[in-house]
């Protein structure tokens, strides 16, 4: 439904307004206020990246001119705000106090919403759990998950160090002065910060807490949706490197929110975007077309107009799920996620025992395996399989071409014949892998790809498991060398149309560096050692061990 065009209001700005927290610390905020005599709703954005950055420059005047007071705040210890920055720890209480401060201002009518992406999104959830009375709605974009959901390794991914370095002072640190590729090779992981030339105690704390414990649970929120009943607009992209959190949060709120009101009023938008959503039609070598960009500010305005101003603008009655189907390159509206009409089809691994590299005999099909030889490879942590990415933490991976990486013998490759008709895969991807190792601990990585007729091997999504955490991130247990284990691997989500003539491919390896740290295969305490052991890996795909990737296939038409 189109909104009626409204006259824009003039906007005045008040800078470095001091906002008191409950412990006496004051935080700095810039206020963007419409020139009107009537009180208006407030939008609160809290950021470690600077309260006057690019996001605010494009967003705050837009909302203020349309009748909102926009509060852009430096989080504790960053920018002009007092206190010490400790990622996430103070954000729940500080967010609560900031919302209630805004609601009490004479220019505010008492209704407050929050918005923002990445760190700004996760702290909205931590704030919402403190139950601020005046918080009425949220817009949560590219939201990080709970600890170890995105990186189920027990230790932070190497590129997380780049983020910690970037936010290690009161202002943004220049990450381009660091040779990050050299940094990521440093062992032990515990002292990797030394290679930056700067001591980063937070890095060492995170490495030290190498399982899901109470230290991590302080900043967890995804097991607590039952405490919330807010309308939330969830936004991400299929190539967002923190993508998994957004569909998880949508499903969590639609199924477990405290009230029927909360469960009913959620909206999910997934585009063909990286972590910086809705910026370009192009990503890597692909162009998703002009329709891939949307009027994002307009969508967010309608959300707040409905839930902060009470306007009956139709946003609550529209289909709640908007997905961009890559390959077909068009948007589609749905009523739920995952889709009810999904056919969950296993695609089984097959080979004659030589699936090593794309030149091997690995095959992928819906045929259930019989008696087949297993596939073997050696994983050497000194020579890990590369994950194609820029070295900084701004964006980890994309629709990159893995055909060159697939020349390696420590990458098992399984591929379908060319498809005789188009096939849509939309939903969460899971891998069921039967494997053994000579090591006490090791990793198994799975990558899901679309192979074009010109042999371009487009990464769609991927996932991994660390052997010791096969039973959960809070229950590490080393492997018995040579024993076959069944691993369930979360490969996140996708919406993609494999065109006729394309092929579906699955890779299996034991490293994806530097997206994940290298498992040294010794079974020693994580993050502490430098000793490496070569692991002999075996992947099984026979009648008793039917390794398969489970695809959410959507019937066409």
Note whether 466 and 522 are within 8 A (CB).
Answer: no
Q: Which of 376, 372, 379, 369 is nearest to 354 (CA)?
A: 376
Tell me the HSE value of 15 on the side-chain side, using a 13 A CA sphere: 6
Annotated catalytic residue, options 30, 240, 375, 517: 240
Annotated catalytic residue, options 98, 118, 322, 547: 118
Burial profile 422-440: b = 16 or more Cβ within 10 angstroms, e = fewer: ebbbbbbbbbbbbbbbbbb
> Does 400 participate in catalysis according to the annotation?
no
> Does 275 participate in catalysis according to the annotation?
yes
- Site of tokens 């009518």: 109
Note whether 540 and 176 are within 8 A (CB).
Answer: no
- Site of tokens 């098992």: 412
Annotated catalytic residue, options 134, 265, 275, 502: 275
Q: How far apart are CA 5 and CA 65, in angstroms?
A: 13
Tell me the HSE value of 204 on the side-chain side, using a 13 A CA sphere: 10
Cα distances from 145 to residues 54, 220, 223, 242, 311, in angstroms, run 24, 8, 11, 7, 32
> Does 16 participate in catalysis according to the annotation?
no
Q: Which of 279, 245, 270 is nearest to 320 (CA)?
A: 270
Contacts of 338 by beta carbon, 8 Å cutoff, 6+ apart: 426, 427, 428, 552
Q: How far apart are CA 556 and CA 76, in angstroms?
A: 51
Note whether 47 and 116 are within 8 A (CB).
Answer: yes
Q: How far apart are CA 152 and CA 148, in angstroms?
A: 4
* Residues assigned a catalytic role: 118, 240, 275
């Amino acid at each position: 439904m189109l909104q009626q065009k409204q006259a824009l209001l003039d906007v005045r700005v008040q800078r470095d307004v001091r906002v008191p927290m409950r412990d006496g610390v004051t935080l700095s905020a810039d206020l963007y206020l419409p020139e009107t005599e009537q009180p208006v709703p407030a939008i609160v954005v809290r950021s470690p990246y600077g309260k006057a950055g690019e996001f605010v420059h494009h967003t705050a005047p837009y909302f203020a001119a349309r009748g909102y007071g926009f509060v852009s705040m430096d989080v504790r210890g960053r920018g002009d705000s007092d206190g010490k920055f400790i990622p996430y720890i103070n954000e729940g209480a500080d967010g609560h106090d900031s919302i209630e401060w805004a609601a009490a201002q004479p220019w505010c009518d008492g209704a407050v919403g929050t918005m923002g992406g990445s760190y700004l999104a996760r702290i909205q959830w931590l704030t919402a759990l403190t139950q601020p009375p005046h918080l009425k709605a949220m817009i949560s974009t590219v939201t990080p998950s709970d600890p170890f959901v995105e990186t189920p390794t027990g230790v932070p991914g190497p590129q997380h160090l780049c983020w910690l370095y970037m936010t290690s002072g009161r202002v943004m640190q220049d990450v381009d002065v660091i040779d990050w590729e050299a940094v990521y090779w440093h062992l032990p992981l515990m002292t990797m910060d030394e290679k930056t030339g700067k001591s980063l105690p937070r890095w060492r704390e995170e490495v030290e807490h190498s399982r899901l414990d109470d230290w991590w649970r302080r900043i967890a929120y995804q097991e607590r949706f039952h405490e919330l009943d807010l309308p939330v607009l969830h936004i991400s992209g299929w190539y967002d490197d923190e993508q998994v959190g957004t569909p998880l949060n949508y499903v969590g709120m639609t199924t477990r929110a405290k009230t029927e009101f909360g469960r009913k009023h959620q909206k999910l938008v997934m585009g063909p975007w990286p972590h910086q959503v809705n910026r370009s039609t192009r990503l890597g070598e692909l162009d998703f077309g002009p329709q891939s960009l949307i009027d994002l500010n307009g969508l967010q305005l309608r959300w707040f107009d409905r839930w902060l101003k009470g306007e009956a603008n139709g946003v609550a009655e529209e289909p709640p799920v908007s997905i961009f189907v890559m390959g077909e390159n068009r948007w589609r509206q749905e009523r739920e996620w995952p889709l009810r009409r999904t056919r969950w089809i296993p695609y089984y691994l097959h080979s004659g025992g030589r699936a090593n590299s794309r030149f091997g005999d690995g095959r992928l099909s819906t045929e259930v395996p019989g008696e087949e030889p297993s596939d073997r490879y050696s994983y050497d942590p000194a020579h890990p399989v590369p994950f194609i990415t820029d070295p900084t933490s701004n964006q980890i991976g994309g629709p990159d071409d893995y055909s060159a990486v697939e020349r390696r013998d420590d990458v098992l490759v399984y591929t379908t014949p060319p498809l005789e008709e188009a096939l849509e895969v939309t939903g969460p991807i899971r891998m069921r892998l039967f494997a053994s190792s000579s090591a006490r601990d090791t990793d198994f990585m799975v990558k899901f790809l679309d192979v074009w007729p010109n042999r371009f091997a487009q990464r769609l999504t991927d996932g991994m498991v660390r052997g010791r955490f096969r039973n959960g991130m809070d229950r590490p247990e080393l492997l018995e060398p040579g024993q076959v284990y069944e691993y369930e691997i979360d490969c996140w989500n996708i919406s993609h149309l494999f065109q006729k003539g394309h092929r579906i491919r699955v890779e299996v390896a034991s490293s994806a560096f530097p997206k994940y740290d290298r498992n040294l295969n010794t079974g020693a305490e994580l993050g502490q050692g430098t000793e490496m052991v070569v692991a002999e890996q075996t992947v099984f795909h026979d009648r008793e061990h039917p390794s398969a990737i489970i695809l959410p296939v959507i019937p066409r038409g």
